[in-house]
A = this chain, B = another copy of it.
């Protein structure tokens, strides 16, 4: 997906040598939907929102999807399921990534000055780090959640172990303590 900048710039001819879009013969929307594990409606809807433009369309107006398009769909679903982003937010992320691909292209273009390259790279970095912030926050929260859960599980395990040797007098008893209200923080 980074190789095409999502049908953006890159006016230099398709460089008929490597197989960037050969071999894979472009899929109709039905086959693409099956391969991507989504509905045809979803593909049209993504296009309607500007998330996904099919690799090309026939003169008659039929959509034709490339492997890159399928990867893009996979990314959309990943961002949906993993980060819980809605399609508008995903559009932003994808546009950022498209911009990165563009930047990569300009970067390797001889006509680009070194100063411009540094600027582009910094822009790229900032975009990525912004997303990273979101993701990292989520991971931290998830880790806290998991730690909480693990603490409870350990308590259960300890109890069970205690009952394996039925005469060991070790028992904390008293309050249920931190088993029910071990919320780490709560901003």
Contacts and interface: CB of A to CB of B under 8 A. Distances in A.
B142 A139 contact: yes
Interface residues of A, number: 52
Given A114-B166, A146-B139, A122 B160 contact: yes
A112 to B, nearest CB: 12
B141 A139 contact: no
B125 A149 contact: no
Contacts of A179: 2, 104
A10 interface: no
Given A2-B176, A3-B176, A153 B125 contact: yes
Given A84-B84, A118-B160, A135-B146, 6 more contacts: A82-B138, A118-B163, A125-B153, A136-B146, A138-B142, A139-B142
Interface of A: 1-3, 71, 74, 78, 81-84, 100-101, 104, 107-108, 114, 117-118, 121-122, 124-125, 128-129, 131-132, 135-136, 138-139, 141-143, 145-146, 149-150, 152-153, 156-157, 159-160, 163, 166, 173, 176, 179-181, 183, 186
